[in-house]
Amino acid sequence: MALPTRRLGSLTVSAVGLGCMGLSHGYDVIPSAEESARLLNRALDLGVTMLDTAALYGGGANERLLGGAVMHRRSEFTLASKCVLDMVDGKRVLDGSPAAIARTLDAALARLCTDFIDLYYLHRLDPNVPVEESVGALVRAREAGKIGAIGLSEMSAATIRRAHAVHPIAAVQSEYSPFSRNVEIAVLDTCRELGIGFVAFSPTARGLLADAIRDDAWAAGDLRRTMPRFTGENLAHNLRVGAAFNAIAQECGITPAQLSLAWVLAKAPFIVPIPGTRRIAHLEENLVAATIALDDEATARIDALFTGDAIRGARYSAAAQAQIDTERFPGE
């Protein structure tokens, strides 16, 4: 099966990719390796040609999962992973030094059972290391034949420009959905100007725009229990906005998840959303969005619904936000 394609720098990928984090990290239930392998292979069968992972996810478990599940089909997909954020001795570490990047990359290649990663991101900006030094480490890895394209994750327009001056950046990855619009401040315009692709993670707002959240009874390991938007009165308010979004989806004859993904895809031809899921039925539902042409009226209604301070609560906790370089709206 073939999906429409889009460009990320020199890479051509399916218009909708697959974010693999949730198969090993971040949410309430981690599926078995067998279930995850079935989902990953079904994604490839359905024409997904971009799989996104990171050293951080599950402390290497997610890369190891892909290494065991799909590397026999290595020629069928673009492999993306990330460094700088890592797990060391069971603790989350932010280290953008060239030495740390080299260690993380070599460990990732071993876990992934490959000798080449097509797109390798700096997962976060390390404020203690000039971004030029971190990008320089990736340039050397590229020259050594270990990686192909270079990417950045959750970085500001100013940082993107600094990095791009060292080496052309193929893709910038950040959160983007009708619910989370920070990249509209400056990042999307910068990507458009410099010819950089944009990869949208959490394009269904961590499930809220997929009609998958009812309350804040999060399991102990669920990231959303630490995110102000997904707890208490903030969540109660945001769910009411979500209900209005669901009504638009019903009028369009599609699911809320498909509407959110179609909205992201309609924003620019250089945007590739990478929704994650643990269920094959949801995977199949999401991929339909690659063929949905959202009309201007529906797009305008969604934009109006989420305008201004319609959403309450910050994207991240104060501690997590300290590692985010992307621009913020007033009050965040």
Burial class of 296 by CB neighbour count within 10 A (0 to 12, 13 to 18, 19+)? exposed
Annotated catalytic, 57?
yes
- The partner residues of 91 in beta bridges, in order of sequence, read 88
Q: Which helix (H) or strand (E) holds 196?
A: none
What's the confidence (pLDDT) of residue 1? Answer: 65
Alpha helices in 195-295 (DSSP H): 232-252, 256-267, 280-288
Burial class of 178 by CB neighbour count within 10 A (0 to 12, 13 to 18, 19+)? buried
CA distance 36 to 22: 10
Beta strands in 95-163 (DSSP E): 117-122, 147-153
Q: Is 180 helix (H, G, I), strand (E, B) or coil?
A: strand
Parallel/antiparallel/unpaired status of strands 117-122 and 91-94? unpaired
Residues 6+ apart with CB under 8 A from 26: 57, 221, 222, 223
What's the confidence (pLDDT) of residue 29? Answer: 82
What's the confidence (pLDDT) of residue 290? Answer: 97
CA distance 66 to 34: 11
Catalytic residue among 27, 57, 120, 316: 57
What's the confidence (pLDDT) of residue 330? Answer: 84
Per-residue model confidence as pLDDT tens digits over 133-160: 999 999 999 999 999 999 999 999 999 9
Ranges in the chain, pLDDT < 50:
none
Domains along the sequence of the chain with CATH: 5-321 (3.20.20.100)
Q: Left if phi > 0, otherwise alpha if psi is -120 to 50, otherwise beta: which for 83? A: beta
What's the confidence (pLDDT) of residue 190? Answer: 98
Structure tokens at 110: 């071993």
What's the confidence (pLDDT) of residue 314? Answer: 93
Per-residue model confidence as pLDDT tens digits over 38-47: 999 999 999 9
Q: Is 171 helix (H, G, I), strand (E, B) or coil?
A: strand
What's the confidence (pLDDT) of residue 120? Answer: 99
What's the confidence (pLDDT) of residue 198? Answer: 98
